[in-house]
Amino acid sequence: MILIFGGAYQGKIAYAMERFNLNENSFFKIDKWILELIKADMNVEEAVQEFIANNPNAIIICNDISCGIVPIDPVMRKWREAVGRTLARLSQESSEVIRLFCGIATRIK
């Protein structure tokens, strides 16, 4: 598994498309999926664990939503925490972790 994360509009998808020679639909955008799970009142940890088990070769794209003001909305706060915990879990499981900032990729694992 390969994890590519960074802030919104930092070039994650363009980087992944170029590096892996794939199209925009070849990546799993996990932050949006986590929000769907929370809104459906599903267990995020269990769903992420199942995803990891079933997709060992996935290339995962994730917006890092941990910076900035903590949301007032309880669902958005829960989402923010779940994305952070998921990034930590995926970082442990991934063979490679890349952070994109201002279009510059930094391999951190």
* Domains in the chain with CATH codes: 2-107 (3.40.50.300)
Under a CB-based contact definition with an 8 Å cutoff, are residues 106 and 99 in contact? yes
- pLDDT at position 14, please? 93
pTM for this prediction: 0.91
Nearest Cα residue to 8 out of 75, 76, 61: 61
84 vs 18: CA distance, rounded Å = 26
What tens-digit pLDDT sequence spans the chain (109 residues)?
999 999 999 999 999 999 999 887 777 899 999 999 999 999 999 999 999 999 999 999 999 998 888 889 999 999 999 999 999 999 999 999 999 999 999 999 9
Contact between 106 and 10 under an 8 Å Cβ cutoff? The reply is no
* Burial of residue 69 (number of CB atoms within 10 Å: 0-12, 13-18, 19+): exposed
Work out the widest C-alpha separation in the chain, in whole angstroms: 40
